[in-house]
Amino acid sequence: MRIRGYALPQGEFVDLYADGDQWTTDPVPGAEVTAEGWLLPGLVDAHTHPGAEKPGDRLDLAILKDDLRLHVDAGVTLIRSPGLADDPPDWFGTDPDLPRAWHAGPWIAQAGQFFDGWGRRVDHADMPEQAAAQAQQTGWAKIIADWGVGDEPVPEHVMKAVAEAVHAVGGRLAVHTQHSGGSAAAVAAGVDSVEHGMCMDAGLLNDMATKGMAFTPTLSVLLSGLPRIQERAEGPRKDWALTGVTAHPRLVAAAAEAGVTLLAGTDSRPHGRVADEVKAMADAGVSPHQALGAASWTARAFLGLQGLEPGAPADAVVYEQDPRTDLDQLNRPLAVILRGRRVR
């Protein structure tokens, strides 16, 4: 198989051959041009929870495959699941027709917090050991730093101990936070990625950039919930949600300006909507180049994969035109290449 065209992020012309699951510039006998145009090194959804119909449901393998197929149809060749309803099957991330996958196993939360039926409720004293064991197994662990209005977030000293334990085994730590206290603890602890980050103090962004932390704002799904928030009864919960969501686009734009690594993630159903997140970032004021990178080359680099170059995994999405000048191109891929095979 062979593709050629203008490869992002640089936009230089390349002629690539798939040698198994690896790109090469050396001609491969019998390889014909599969697609040509504008080339991305595969899209990434860095925050997605496939396999369950609604919060609290157990992992359903048929739903899991259907969800992952929707990602592939959208050009997503790599996902990160910072939290799953259960430990996934062995084929998760390795099925040749479905995206590569990183995951953090079930969420780790405090007692009385997070969705009933999902995750593990762990005492503060046991959090570092539990998170380290998960990260040693799958590379990532996920902590729910805060939850409801008025709930106490995971204390900073606990978060620091968790981050140290995870890093000591060579793992990485993602943290869910939608309140200022949880995000402050996460940034102070030097975790690897802040998920959602609603209500985060913008004064933390420079520290995040300095520490090399990533920010997955899940902006599009939060904005899509605004009509429901506005219909809620007046009270602290509505005030928190309305204030946090309406301020979130400004926070995302400020993060980009501060040099924080942005990752595109869609969070909830339906799957295959990473283009919505890219567009939401761009509408918020992030440059189209940076917004697209958050769903492609930047995210792949953060997760340890190369782009469109010799020796890199043979993933790509091909478009007719430069998607940076027309983000609607993301909804019209000409071809999706996964592990050296055309899957769409």
Domain boundaries, the chain: 1-41+307-344, 43-305
Question: Residue 295 gets which letter from DSSP?
Answer: T
The CA distance from 297 to 300, in Å, is 5
Q: Do the domains 43-305 and 1-41+307-344 match in fold?
A: no
Name the class of domain 43-305.
alpha beta
279-316 pLDDT, tens digit per residue, is 999 999 999 999 999 999 999 999 999 999 999 999 99
Q: Which CATH superfamily is domain 1-41+307-344 in?
A: Urease, subunit C, domain 1 (2.30.40.10)
Whether 137 contacts 157, CB under 8 Å: no
Q: State which residues of the chain have pLDDT below 50.
A: none
Looking at residue 114, its pLDDT comes to 97
Dihedral sign, CA of 339, 340, 343, 344? positive
The mean pLDDT value of the chain amounts to 97
The CA distance from 23 to 311, in Å, is 5
Whether 42 contacts 335, CB under 8 Å: no
Q: Give Cα 103 to chain centroid, integer Å.
A: 10
241-288 pLDDT, tens digit per residue, is 999 999 999 999 999 999 999 999 999 999 999 999 999 999 999 999
Looking at residue 16, its pLDDT comes to 97
Question: Residue 48 gets which letter from DSSP?
Answer: B
Looking at residue 233, its pLDDT comes to 93
Dihedral sign, CA of 244, 160, 101, 1? positive
